[in-house]
């Protein structure tokens, strides 16, 4: 269903995929962390915009946080919590994923 291989994502980087999440087509941010991956809906809790700066391109701050390009919210990558900007304390919606045989899939 995904076709996304972990090796396609730079370690520490991000990819955007279109997945069915609970039956709904969604844009999903996949973050690679070494041999593992985490994923969230590509919907900022501030104003509901997608986070990327250009299609499929996400910005990481010098602090190692994911930046929402719309109004500058920043999210830590362990739990997707907003740690700076207009929605501080809110969270991205997690999508459960696993890496199996090198492929990133929803759990």
Q: Which is nearer to ligand FES, 71 or 100 (CB)?
A: 71
| Helices and strands, number each (H, E), in the chain | 0, 11
46 binds ligand FES (CB under 6 A): yes
Are 46 and 87 a contacting pair, CB within 8 Å?
A: yes
66 binds ligand FES (CB under 6 A): no
Given candidates 71, 79, 88, 100, which one binds ligand FES under the rule CB under 6 A? 71
85 binds ligand FES (CB under 6 A): yes
49 binds ligand FES (CB under 6 A): yes
70 binds ligand FES (CB under 6 A): yes
Phi, psi of 74 (to 5 degrees): -125, 145
- Measured between alpha carbons, how far apart are the two ends of the chain, in Å? 12
What one-character DSSP code corresponds to residue 90? -
Site for ligand FES, rule CB under 6 A? 44, 46-47, 49, 68, 70-73, 85-86
């Amino acid at each position: 269903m995904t076709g996304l291989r972990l090796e396609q994502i730079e370690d520490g980087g991000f990819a955007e995929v279109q997945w069915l999440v609970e039956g709904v087509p969604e844009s999903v941010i996949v973050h690679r962390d070494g041999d593992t991956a985490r994923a969230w809906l590509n919907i900022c809790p501030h104003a509901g915009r997608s986070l990327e700066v250009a299609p499929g391109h996400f910005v990481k701050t010098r602090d190692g946080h994911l930046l929402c390009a719309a109004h500058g919210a920043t999210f830590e990558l362990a739990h997707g919590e907003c740690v700076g900007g207009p929605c501080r304390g809110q969270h991205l919606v997690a999508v459960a994923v696993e890496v199996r045989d090198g492929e990133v899939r929803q759990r």
